[in-house]
Structure 1
Amino acid sequence: MDFDLTSDQEDLQEGVRKLLQGRFPMAAVRELASTAGVERARWRELAQAGVFALRLPEAEGGAGLGMAEAALVFEELGRALVPGPLVASHVVAGAVAGAAEGDRVVGVLEVGPGPLVVEHLDALDEVVVLDADGAGVVEAGELRAAAQPLAPPLDPLVPVHRLAAVPATRALAGPDVSARWRLEAAALTAAALAGIARAVTDLGVAYAKERRQFDRPIGSFQAVKHVLADMLVRTEVARASVYAAAATLDHPEVGDVRRAVAGAKAVAGDAATENGKACLQVHGGMGFTWEVDVHLYLKRAWVLDTQWGSAGAQAEVIAGLL
């Protein structure tokens, strides 16, 4: 399996990175907490850039690309800490009218053994409900009256509502399609986690170069070097795992798709959370302040790690496939 990016993939990743640097600087990202994590004009800009229609056929207005390219895009979205139901809107873009164009913001409710929760509910137009029988869809407005907000949310940019019961829906897709969506969503969430792992590594390295102690940058101390080196190793392993999972989804003949996706989600989740904690350590007391962005990345990593199977749950999936 070749992990070298093609020139087109490099151009795609660089283009998305520049777009996010211009439209989603951290000051703008922080402001999205007041709009349930979604600002409609910026959301449509993401749609116009192809974030949601990336894998749709060209005949349907998409770019006709694969999971490999989608993973690169979501890695950058995670790196920029862009909030919103990005994964859900991307995965169901071909099934829910208006999602690909950014006209409809679509969230997801995954029915499982845990509590029934919906993220960004106040910003959603529709909610896709995934259960063992397949997928259904319901207008978000029908859920808001009965939903209870969880306050305060762990991540201030990811508001969460809890439901008491599974809502009635209209059929959207069968169990095979639903299972595929779950795999794709887990892989793209892993890509975002890999982006977070890289972002906090960069933050830690930058701070270690700037912060001085005993007339030397703290990055020159061996103990700090070891912390930063471990962060880089975790980041590169996570990225390789994510790229492998995306390539396997595109070409299932090369390996076990479920194992590749489970491995990527587990490794990337661990990398993002452990790197976030290590970055806090490098920053010292400053890392715990509201003004420093490190805590936002760590909180997002904790939230994303719980989605589509935590690292522990994915490890059990891998064990069951051995």
Structure 2
Amino acid sequence: MDFALSAEQEDLAAGERAWLAKHDPIAARRPDIDSGPARIPDDAAKHLVESGLIGLLTSDMGGTHVDLAVLVEEHGRAASPSPLAELALATATLETLPPQLAALANANTTGAQSIALVIGSSEGVPLTTEIRGGNLRITGTTSPVTAALDATGFLLALTSQDETEILVHVASDTAGLSLRTLSTLDLTRSWSTLDLDLTVSEKDWTTVPTGTVSHLSDALAFYRKMDALGAAQRLVDQTVEYAGQRTQFGQPIGGFQAVKHHCANMTLQTEAARSSLWAAAVALDGNQPAQRAVAVSAAAAYAGDATSTVASTALQVHGGIGFTWEHDLHLLARRIKVDELLNGSVSWHRRRLAGA
């Protein structure tokens, strides 16, 4: 497959990278890193709205998954706490639903609401649903979702016991919704699960065509690993720079063959992960579900393993300095490790490929 980013997509990525560099998420997080879960800074939330990025995938904007992917990579590189992919996916999906739910898409793009996409567990116990006279009864626990502490609501994608696919809007203050914040390795984002034991009125949920939930699940899996790619690329850049500056026995350590091999392997793994992820992005923009599922799981399995290896190698090349909490390396490595596990672990995606 021949693929290359367009000039517009490269400009889009460069613009977002410049904004993130000016409003460095890691620098913003450092002062209160020991005080509790990460929150989305006001300037970051304002930026997502004013830039129109939340509505990138809507019909008005006409953006593609490739467009969104270049932005998610930049947010991963900067270790941003903003759930850009979850917000953009929820907004584009809401737009296609009945009027009472479609109105929430505009609320998301204007910043009046902050509704992120959440799915039931891909590897754990599925949510239990029951339709009672038009109302929907839901019990169970969702997959982890990032930045739930800053959300006003959630678009929940689930499949019922009879294989009916359902999308549900649940406000964050709904009775029967309990937000459970998790303790994870990742100190740059907050992660939570939704514990649900509630009944949703018929105006807040709808059935959707078969395949909708799997498409959204694939998209979340893809963007989780795209985020890890951004963090891994930053680690490659930092490691190469460090290897050229750190001296040992009177010369830069980058001159030693073993270190050269480490840096070369990191670059190879990162570029290979990028290639697999771009193939998955193109498949997400297509209309072949089977091809999309294979492309996403192949990319998620490879990129999840590769980026984790890059993080470990970066730590090794940096030596003792890499183990200090003052260095950004440990924050990026922690983020990558969490990305590796969520929305389908490497082993889960490999099993899925084996059964395809």
**With structure 2 as the length reference, what TM-score do the two structures score?**
0.81
RMSD: 2.5
Which one of the candidate residues 193, 198, 208 is aligned to 2:228? 193
Query: What per-residue deviation string (whole Å, max 9, x for no partner) do you get for residues 280-308 of structure 1?
Result: 11111111111101111111112222222
Query: What per-residue deviation string (whole Å, max 9, x for no partner) do you get for residues 208-258 of structure 1?
Result: 111111111111111111111110001000111111111122234698111
Which one of the candidate residues 164, 167, 171 is aligned to 1:135? 167
* Partner Cα separation in structure 2 for residue 65 and residue 130 of structure 1: 22
| 1:255/1:300 CA distance change after superposition, 3 Å | same
Offset, 1:167:
4.4
Match in the other structure for 2:184: 153
- Contact persistence 1:53–1:101 (CA under 8 A): no
- Contact persistence 1:196–1:297 (CA under 8 A): yes
- Contact persistence 1:85–1:106 (CA under 8 A): no
Which one of the candidate residues 97, 105, 119 is aligned to 1:110? 119
- Contact persistence 2:178–2:196 (CA under 8 A): no
- Contact persistence 2:113–2:152 (CA under 8 A): yes
Which one of the candidate residues 33, 57, 72 is aligned to 1:55? 57
Offset, 1:160:
3.2
Query: What per-residue deviation string (whole Å, max 9, x for no partner) do you get for residues 42-69 of structure 1?
Result: 11202322322112122xxx2x121111
* Partner Cα separation in structure 2 for residue 220 and residue 232 of structure 1: 17
Asked if residue 171 in structure 1 is aligned to residue 205 in structure 2, the reply is: yes
- Contact persistence 1:200–1:279 (CA under 8 A): yes
**With structure 1 as the length reference, what TM-score do the two structures score?**
0.89
Query: What per-residue deviation string (whole Å, max 9, x for no partner) do you get for residues 3-35 of structure 1?
Result: 222222221121121121112353124457567
* Partner Cα separation in structure 1 for residue 188 and residue 175 of structure 2: 20
Match in the other structure for 1:122: 149
* Partner Cα separation in structure 2 for residue 31 and residue 296 of structure 1: 14
Match in the other structure for 2:72: 74
Aligned-partner SS, 2:276: helix
Which range moves more in the overlay, 216-225 or 160-169?
A: 160-169
Aligned-partner SS, 1:99: helix
Offset, 1:164:
4.6
Aligned length: 316
Uncovered stretches (5+) of structure 2, i.e. residues with no partner:
95-103, 125-140, 160-164
Which one of the candidate residues 274, 285, 294 is aligned to 1:259? 294
- Contact persistence 2:119–2:217 (CA under 8 A): no
| 1:168/1:160 CA distance change after superposition, 3 Å | farther
In structure 2, what residue type is equivalent to 1:20? L
* Partner Cα separation in structure 1 for residue 112 and residue 310 of structure 2: 36
- Contact persistence 1:106–1:128 (CA under 8 A): yes
Asked if residue 99 in structure 1 is aligned to residue 131 in structure 2, the reply is: no
- Contact persistence 2:167–2:207 (CA under 8 A): yes
Which one of the candidate residues 308, 322, 325 is aligned to 1:287? 322
- Contact persistence 2:215–2:289 (CA under 8 A): no
* Partner Cα separation in structure 2 for residue 32 and residue 183 of structure 1: 34
- Indicate the structure (1 or 2) with the bigger Cα radius of gyration: 2
* Partner Cα separation in structure 2 for residue 270 and residue 181 of structure 1: 22
Offset, 1:108:
4.2
| 1:223/1:255 CA distance change after superposition, 3 Å | same
Which one of the candidate residues 81, 84, 88 is aligned to 1:83? 81
